[in-house]
Amino acid sequence: MEEQLKESLTAEISAEDEAEASSEELWDAAWLQEAELLKQSYPDFELETQMKDPLFSGMLRGDIRPSLKQIYELCHGGEIAKQKVDEAVSAAVAEAVNKAVAEAVAQTTTETEERMLSRIRARGQRPAESGLNAALGFRTHPAVSRLTRADREGLARRASRGETIRL
């Protein structure tokens, strides 16, 4: 009777071991599939690396059986949150800079156009100044009595070269 009990217990234990082994194999295959899906959300996720983390592997092999995503997010929640915040800040800063640059360019363009138009209008309304129009000016000849000695010597040199001097 004892032998029959031992044999039945041994058979049950063997069946449980086989069931556990096949269950572990199923879980291992499921983990590999889930790991591939998880890589789409978290490109730096590596199952082999995470299995070296005692917290990660302990939770993964425990009785609760959370998903890989839950375990990874639990183990690396701070890093994930920091990365998301960094990405959000970078996007917000880039958007603000682009908006500010676009506004500054638009404002500068508008101001430049207005200045140019006002200068064009102002030039069109101004009367001609006496020194700007050559046709309105007249020529004056120096008075001989006001010539300096150097002026007279310069005129004499020019005349000696054959130039006609008119005063």
pLDDT value of residue 93: 92
pLDDT value of residue 23: 44
Query: What CA–CA distance (Å, rounded) separates 41 from 83?
Result: 13
Rounded to two decimals, what is the model's pTM?
Answer: 0.37
Token pair for residue 29?
């295959």
Tens digit of each residue's pLDDT, the chain (167 residues): 556 545 655 655 554 555 444 445 556 778 888 888 888 988 898 888 888 888 788 877 776 677 888 888 888 989 999 999 999 999 999 999 999 999 999 999 999 999 998 888 887 776 666 555 555 555 666 777 888 999 989 989 999 999 888 87
pLDDT value of residue 101: 92
| Largest Cα span, the chain | 158
pLDDT value of residue 112: 93
Query: What CA–CA distance (Å, rounded) separates 26 from 42?
Result: 23
